[in-house]
Amino acid sequence: MPVPDITYFGEKPEGGGIQYGEVRQIIDEQRKLLILKGRIDTLLIGQIDQLCLTNDDGNLKVYSPFPLTVLTLLSIETLGHIINDIDKIKEANDYEQSKAIVTPVYQLMDTKLSYKPSKDFYKSFEKLHGKDDKKSIKKYSDVIHKYQRNTFNHGYQSRGVFLTETINQAITIDNESGCLYINPYSFWELYKTTQDYVFEQILNSKRKEWRQNALKYFQRLIS
C-alpha cells in the first residue's frame, strides 16, 4: 500500500473530496468507476483545461500550446491504461508497450489515424527520416507516437508532427510533406470528447472489456 490512506484521491460524484483510505473500502463496481471518473475529471481534465481559459476579450489567459499538447499526449496514454488489458500488452510487447497502449485511443479519436500511410507520405517521410525509421511506421498514429510523443518527452521537440492553429480540424495529414499537423486546442477538445465517450460506454456496460480493464486500472491505483 504505497499511497497513504489520508492522501487525496479525487472528487466524489455527489461532491466533496475522497481519500485513498475511503476508496479502498468501496466494494460496489459501479461506485468504483464513478470515483475513478471523478478523479480523472478533477485531476486531469479540470487542471489541463486551465490552459484553455480565456479573458473577457477572448484571448487566452495563458498561451501554452506546447505544454497543452504534452499534457494531451499524457492524457491519451492514461486513457489507454484504462481501456486496455495492460498485462496482455506487457506479455506481447517487449519494446513497444506504450505504442500498443495509445494506438486504440488514437483510433477512437480519429479513424484516419488507423490507416496505413499513403505511398506519397512514405516517400516524403523517408526523405526526412530515412528508410529505417519508415519501417517502424505502420499507421498514421505511429507518427504521432514516435515523432511527437517520444521526441516531446525526450527533448521537448517535435520532429514529425507540428503544431499550428491555422487548421480548423484537430489533425491534418500532409502526404506531400510526410508529416502531420495538430491544432493543440482542437486536439485537446477531441481528446475530451473521446474520453466522455469511453466513460459513457464503461459506466453503461456497453463495452464490457473496457469496463473490466478500467476496474483493473482502479485496483492498480489503490494497491
Average pLDDT of the chain is 93
Percent of the chain exceeding pLDDT 70 equals 93
The amino acid sitting at 49 is D
pLDDT of residue 92: 86
Apex 220 CA angle, 23 and 18, nearest 5: 20
Please state the rounded mean pLDDT for residues 162-179.
Answer: 95
Q: What is the pTM of this model?
A: 0.93
Any idea where the domains of the chain sit in the sequence? 8-222
SS percent in the chain: helix, strand, coil, step 5: 60, 10, 30
Place of cell 504521432: 144
Asked if the model's pLDDT at residue 217 lies above 80, the reply is yes
CA distances from 183 to 166, 168, 171 (A): 7, 8, 7
Asked if the model's pLDDT at residue 182 lies above 90, the reply is yes
Q: For 87-134, what is the HEC assignment? A: HHHHHHCCCCHHHHHHHHHHHHHCHHHHCCCCHHHHHHHHHHHCHHHH
Smallest CA-to-CA distance from 159 within 140, 178, 176, 175 is with 178
Please state the rounded mean pLDDT for residues 187-205.
Answer: 98
* pLDDT tens-place string over residues 80-120: 999 999 999 998 876 688 889 999 999 999 999 999 999 99
Percent of the chain exceeding pLDDT 90 equals 80
- Here the cell at position 51 is 490552459
- Here the cell at position 16 is 466533496
